[in-house]
Structures are given as C-alpha cells and as structure tokens.
Amino acid sequence: MEKQRENWGSRIGFVLAAAGSAVGLGNIWRFPYLTGENGGSAFILIYLVFVIFIGISVMIAEFTLGRNSGLATVGAIKSYSDRFTFVGAMGVLSAFLIMGFYPVVGGWALAYILESVTGLYSLTPDGIGDTFGAFITGGVQPVVWMLIFLAMNVLIVAKGIKGGIEKAAKVLMPTLFILLIFIAIRSLTLDGAGEGLAFIFRPDFSEVDGGTFLAALGQAFFSLSLGMGAMITYGSYLSKKENLVENAVIVTGLDVGVALLAGIAMFPAIFAFGMEPAQGPGLVFVVIPMVFAEMGGIGALFGIIFFIALAVAALTSSVSLMEVVVSYLIDQRDVQRKKAVYGTGVVMAIMAVLASLSLGVFGPLPVFNVGVFDLFDILSDKVFLGLGGMFIAIVTGWVVDKEVLRKEITNDGTVGFALFEAWHFLIKWIIPLAVAVVAIFGIIDIEETAVMLFGIAIVALLAVFSRKLH
C-alpha cells in the first residue's frame, strides 16, 4: 500500500513555516554583520537585486519541482533526470553542513538569554567582549547549549509537518515579528539614530568588490533557504490548490522584511552609542550587548528580548534544514520519521560538537587554515548554496518540460502567471550565467580559495558518481 504523504494543514501554516525556514540566523546574525563589512546599504541594494531577480525565481522553481513530484529534494530531482541526482544530494549535503554550525550559534543565543539575566550588561565593553570570547572557546559550556538547541529541533521535527513544524511556526513567527518591532522602535528613539539609518539606506559603492557580490548572492540563497532543498521539500507537502508564485513572493517579502527590520533594530543603536558596525560575526554577541549595557537598567530587558528573538529565528530555520535530511530518509530510504529524526540528530550533534570545539580546543585545520566551524560555513555559503541554486535553475529550465512547469505553476490553467515566459527565460539563461559569473569573481577576491576548490571538487565527484550510477 502506498504511504499517505503528509501535507500542510493550512495556507497560513505553510507560509509561516516557509517564512520561518527563510527567516533565521541569516537575517538577524548574518545579515547585519555582512552589511557592516560590505559598505552598508551598497551591500543591501546588491542583495535586494539578487533576491528580486534570482531569489524569487529560484524559490518558484523549488516550490514547483517539489509539488509536481510530491518528493523531497533528492527524489524530486531524480524524478526529472537521473543524471542530475547529484543536485538533490548537494541539497542534503548543504543541510548537513549548515546544521554542522547552525546549532552552535543557536546555542549561543540560548545561553545569552541567561547571560542577559545574570549581569552581562553590568560589565565594561572589554568585559563583554572577553565574556563572549571565553564562552565560545570554553569547550563544554557552548557544547551543552548547542545540544539543548538541537534537542528542540529534534522534538519539533519528530512530530511531523502538521503537528510539529507547522504548529511551531504559528507560534514562533508572530513572536519573532513582535519582538523585533519592539526593539526597532526603541532603537529609533535613541539620540543619534539617524546616522545608523543613513548607514542602512545611503549606499557607499567604494566598499564594493567581487567579494561583496559573492557575499550578497550567498546571503540571498542562505537567508531564503535556497539551493539546499528546503523549499523543494516544503513544496512537496503543498496542496495542488496553492498559488506557488504568490506564496513565493509572500515568503520572500517576509524574509527581506525581517532582515531590514533586524538592521533597523541594530544599526541606529550601534551608531547612537558610537560602536563600530563592521565587527564580523561578533556583532550580535559583542557590539549589541555593549549597546544594551549603554542603555542602563532597561538594557537587560532589551537584551533578553533580543536574544529570545535570535533563538526563535534560529529555531524556525533549523527545523527546515533537519527536515531536508529527514524527508530524504523517509522518501528514498523508507525510514520511519522518528528513527530518521533521531539518527539525523545524532550525526548533526557530532558535527556541531566538532564545529564548536574548533573555536577553542581544536583550532584551525592544517590543510585549509580554517576551523571546522568556518569550513562548514564557507562550503555551504560560498559553494553549495550558489551552485545548488544554479543547478536547480538548470534542471528547471533545461530538463523539465516547459509545459509541465506552466501547468504546475498555473494549477492547470486556473491561476494566472503573466510573467511565466520572462520567469522561464531567467531560469533557463540568466540565472545560471549570473551565479557562475558572481562565483568566479568572488573566488578571485576571497582568501579561502583552497576551501572553495575543495567544495567544487566535492560537487564534481557527486556529479561523476551520479552518472556512473545511471
């Protein structure tokens, strides 16, 4: 007897879950520090161009491939072409790599909720910086918090689509919006907040180089959960009545809105208190706590709210990454959901432990001169997500029959999509070329070329292996 595939319980549940997948650390932890490192609003403008012309198109493609096949990422791609099975495998591998470091940062967010209560903001600026440095290199403590965060993922995903992921999204996503709006309002009322807004909305293109474009493209794919199979997987649980284009636009809009809201919540306060925005990944855990410390007694309250929001964002996104791997095991390996979740959780825990310890005990890997944490981040962000999006565009534009796409996107002609021809042209010609060009120039401008080449070699091996299998 054929197994009944799970479905979303409601449209709002799907939209919030898909938006939750897109809205995560990429918006609140990653987006602000990349903005600070890449010239402020110049980076934001490039990011928005990629989101509008590439992100939305690839998301429509992923929803379409998932719903039309009724399968998660590997099964979906394989149903269209055996020779491109490696693209689905890349999606699963990307989810694994991201979940190798994502729960580590999620654990930091949980820990900083407690730190906000226990006197973090009474420290000097140097003390706050030293606290973060000591914490992430401390060995046992960050690992414990990471395991707590990962256990929360396991509990949600084990309950399934409707009873776990959708139910959690309906609570967590509205909570996230409310918390961020609350912080943004306070940030905008500070003296000197206007300079922070100018940093966000007044572009400085003198800071732009090839690396900026690669960072913006990676951020577009990372924050929208594209190129990793999440949206193909979520799309596979969609009803045939849903408007794919409309849902893609809504999800993308919510994601971009949260990213900008996070910027508005942070940068006015950073500039109001004379802090430096280009602080890298430590921006959220060092500079922002310094800002809360400058607020006085009320700072602790805002710190608690901020890090709850960060933990919520991380959780809504990480459950979708775990679901990519779990759905592969269910669809392709016929593993029961709970067994798939627990097995996946164990492997991800081992990877995340190594990533966490690489920030202190282990240090950099001798071959690549980066730690396991950074290795997972670079491979997923700068290699697999962009290439995954490119290959998904190639499969959609060149392998899947155009009329099959038209029929699926328009729900057998019952839903209008006047831009179908333009979308198909973008997917077939422009997006693969644009991603390839950005990737090439980006590789030239970054220092971790050895890691990039290693990642590309893995993709090549996956492609060769899939061809030999078929």
| SS3 at position 360 | coil
We find that the CATH architecture of domain 11-469 is Up-down Bundle (1.20)
Q: What is the pLDDT of residue 468?
A: 61
By the 8 A CB rule, do 83 and 248 touch? no
Q: What is the pLDDT of residue 5?
A: 82
- CA 372 to chain CA centroid, Å, is 18
Q: What is the pLDDT of residue 201?
A: 87
Q: Shortest CA distance to 452 belongs to which of 438, 431, 469, 470?
A: 438
Measured at the CA of 397, the angle between CA 438 and CA 26, to 5 degrees, comes to 45
- CA 448 to chain CA centroid, Å, is 21
Is the pTM higher than 0.75?
A: yes
| SS3 at position 461 | helix
- Residue with token string 């300079």: 195
Question: Residue 413 has which token pair?
Answer: 């002609």
Exposed, middle or buried, 207 (CB in 10 Å: 0-12/13-18/19+)? Answer: middle
- Residue with token string 């959609």: 396
Q: What is the pLDDT of residue 445?
A: 61
Exposed, middle or buried, 198 (CB in 10 Å: 0-12/13-18/19+)? Answer: middle
By the 8 A CB rule, do 26 and 219 touch? yes
Q: What is the end-to-end Cα distance of the chain in Å, rounded?
A: 27
Q: What is the pLDDT of residue 276?
A: 77
| SS3 at position 282 | helix
Q: What is the pLDDT of residue 58?
A: 94
Q: What is the pLDDT of residue 451?
A: 76
By the 8 A CB rule, do 173 and 20 touch? yes
By the 8 A CB rule, do 215 and 34 touch? yes
Domain ranges of the chain: 11-469
CB atoms within 10 A of CB 270: 26
Return per-residue pLDDT of the chain as tens, 470 residues: 446 789 999 999 999 999 999 888 878 878 888 888 888 889 999 999 999 999 999 999 999 999 999 999 999 999 999 999 999 999 999 999 999 999 999 999 999 999 999 989 999 989 999 999 999 998 899 999 999 999 999 999 999 999 999 999 999 999 999 999 999 998 999 899 999 999 888 888 888 888 788 888 888 888 888 989 999 999 999 999 999 999 999 999 999 999 899 889 888 988 888 887 766 667 789 888 998 998 887 889 999 999 999 999 999 999 999 999 999 999 999 999 999 999 999 999 999 999 999 999 888 887 778 899 999 988 887 788 878 888 999 999 999 999 999 999 999 999 999 999 999 999 999 999 988 887 776 666 666 667 777 787 888 888 887 766 55
- For residue 148, what are the CA distances in angstroms to 299, 303, 315? 26, 20, 11
Q: What is the pLDDT of residue 1?
A: 41
| SS3 at position 237 | coil
Q: What is the pLDDT of residue 123?
A: 92
The secondary structure of 11-54 as a DSSP string is: HHHHHHHHHHHHSSHIIIIIHHHHHHHTTTHHHHHHHHHHIIII
Q: Shortest CA distance to 319 belongs to which of 162, 150, 170, 176?
A: 150
DSSP structural state of residue 203: -
> Cβ contacts of residue 274 below 8 Å, gap of 6+?
none
